[in-house]
């Protein structure tokens, strides 16, 4: 496979991949929060570049996007933020295709990808870009050595799986359940079925949508995931602000540690392969 920084981060112990909306509520806070998540054990960070029409997001992340846009977040401000981050873990840019397509003076995704590569971004997740429409972005990513992560939904089967397998690099984002993003209180059986369909794929599998607790992380990794992706549960902490339990950064670090430990525990409880 690609052997990229993202791929490597998912090939060892199970990875914890947090998501935050960049610029929620402002650029300096985002930098502080990302560093806190890394201290807590984040292996890769998905950093959202807010788009005004986030059709794949639930209300928690929608509201974060509104806060970020109201605070003046733009693609250029986003790239500056990433350049200033100074963290060792790979950064994945999660955004919608119109922002990628419109960036810079040239038509198409290349200007955006070039600037992202300069800023130190390692890959993309683009929720409204299915494999059918992704050739231009895939080519630009290949030119600059960036990964392009695709989402596999519980409804994805048959030929569509093959199409995604041919395009994906870095990791495959396994959507734990139908619907939009958002913290939930249980973990769906749809996750196990989705992971089962991808068993033979030689690309790391990270599960997201609805994960908020240590137990979810443990169960999902025990079920075969190489990583867990957590967004809304962290964005909730940002939205709440400082509380008696600590500052936002302190609580994000604590939550990251809890989820990472859950993932590690899940790996230990996996059935061990028989030795020859």
> Is 46 one of the catalytic residues?
yes
Toward other proteins, which CB reaches closer, 99 or 113?
Answer: 99
Q: What is the DSSP pairing of strand 227-230 with strand 15-21?
A: parallel
Query: What CA–CA distances, in Å, run from 159 to 132, 150, 156, 168?
Result: 12, 15, 9, 14
Calpha distance 61→50 (Å, rounded) = 9
Judge whether 258 and 251 are in contact, CB under 8 Å.
no
Q: CA–CA separation, 238 vs 102, rounded Å?
A: 29
Active site residue 133: no
Q: Which two tokens stand for residue 133?
A: 């429409």
Does residue 125 touch other proteins according to CB under 8 A?
no
- Residue 74 binding other proteins, by CB under 8 A: yes
Tell me if 178 contacts other proteins by CB under 8 A.
yes
User: By C-beta, is 135 or 245 nearer to other proteins?
Assistant: 135
Residues in 217-276 at the binding interface with other proteins, rule: CB under 8 A: none
Among 2, 30, 62, 232, interactor with other proteins by CB under 8 A: 62
**Quick one: 158 or 271, whose CB is closer to other proteins?**
158
Neighbour-count burial of 274, counting CB atoms closer than 10 A to its CB (0-12 exposed, 13-18 middle, 19+ buried): exposed
Among the listed residues 132, 199, 244, 274, the single contact to other proteins using CB under 8 A: 132
Q: Which residues bind other proteins (CB under 8 A)?
A: 51-58, 62, 66, 69, 74-75, 96-99, 101-103, 107, 127-130, 132-133, 150-157, 160, 164, 175, 178-180
């Amino acid at each position: 496979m690609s052997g990229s920084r993202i791929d490597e981060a998912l090939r060892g112990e199970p990875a914890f991949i947090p998501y935050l909306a960049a610029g929620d509520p402002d650029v300096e806070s985002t930098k502080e929060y990302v560093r806190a998540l890394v201290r807590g054990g984040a292996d890769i960070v998905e950093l959202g570049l807010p788009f005004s029409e986030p059709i794949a997001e639930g209300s928690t992340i929608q509201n974060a996007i509104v806060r970020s846009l109201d605070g003046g977040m733009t693609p250029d401000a986003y790239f500056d933020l990433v350049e200033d981050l100074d963290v060792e873990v790979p950064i994945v840019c999660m955004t919608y295709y119109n922002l990628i397509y419109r960036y810079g003076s040239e038509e198409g995704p290349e200007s955006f990808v070039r600037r992202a590569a300069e800023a130190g971004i390692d890959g993309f997740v683009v929720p409204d870009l299915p494999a059918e429409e992704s050739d231009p972005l895939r080519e630009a990513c290949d030119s600059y050595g960036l990964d392009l992560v695709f989402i596999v939904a519980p409804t994805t089967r048959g030929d569509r799986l093959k199409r995604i397998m041919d395009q994906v690099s870095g990791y495959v984002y396994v959507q734990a359940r139908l619907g939009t993003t958002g913290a939930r209180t249980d973990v769906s059986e749809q996750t196990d079925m989705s992971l089962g369909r991808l068993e033979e794929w030689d690309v790391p599998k990270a599960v997201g949508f609805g994960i908020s607790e240590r137990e979810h992380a443990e169960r999902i990794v025990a079920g075969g995931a190489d990583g867990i992706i957590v967004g809304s549960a962290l964005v909730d902490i940002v939205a709440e602000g400082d509380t008696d339990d600590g500052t936002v950064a302190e609580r994000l670090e604590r939550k990251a540690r809890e989820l990472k430990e859950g993932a590690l525990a899940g790996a230990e409880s996996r059935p061990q392969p028989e030795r020859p």
